[in-house]
Amino acid sequence: MDPQTEVANAALVEGVKFLYQQAAEILSAWRARRRDRHAPPPCVVEPPGVVQVGRLQPLPDPTSPEMTDTLQELKDLVEPIKDGELDPEAIAARQAVARLRELLEVIVGSPITFAWEPPRTVDVSDIDVVVQRVAGQVRGMHVDLAKLQGPATIRTVRVRGGDVDSGGEVTGVDLTLTAPVA
């Protein structure tokens, strides 16, 4: 193996360790919250220099039992990569890492990018919002363009509403651009 590939593999393994540790923290916190509703939500694991993330805000609880099961399965699949027992270049290893990262991005509410990668396209589609009565604000989707780390594709956002009270507002897609925080 050439030195450049070794460096890239070492960086990938560091990224995998972060994904593994973050998944373990989330699973542990979710289990504790299942036993005690007053237990703290998941903490954020400090990412290594080879991993770039936005502001992480892990879900306090899973959205479904399947989410917990899938996260556990993917964490188990990347463990041999983290431990150096499986070549990170293997197709199965890459697929497991990609799937774990995608699920963690949903759970923590932020893109997770390895330092050597170009920003990935955010692809959002098939959003349906159905309301019978609106007294405040309803948005099908809100995107802060300043927080995107790459290109975005938004398709098929449907908002169906019944009565909208005076002062009520219904928006399909809200694209805003906030100034970066200094």
For residue range 120-173, list pLDDT tens digits in order: 666 777 778 788 888 888 887 777 776 666 677 777 878 887 888 888 888 877
Q: To the nearest 10°, report the CA torsion of 100, 104, 105, 110.
A: -140
The angle that helices 91-108 and 65-82 make with each other, rounded to 10 degrees, is 140
Q: Which residues contact 64 (CB under 8 A, 6 or more apart)?
A: none
- The per-residue pLDDT for range 75-132, each reduced to its tens digit, is 999 999 999 898 888 899 999 999 999 999 989 988 888 887 776 666 777 778 788 8
* H or E element, residue 32: helix 3-35
Higher pLDDT, 115 or 48: 48
Q: pLDDT tier at 53 (50, 70, 90 boundaries)?
A: confident
Residue type, 136: G
pTM beyond 0.75: the answer is: no
pLDDT at 174 over 80: no
Ordered by start, the domain boundaries in the chain are: 3-114, 122-176
pLDDT at 63 over 80: yes
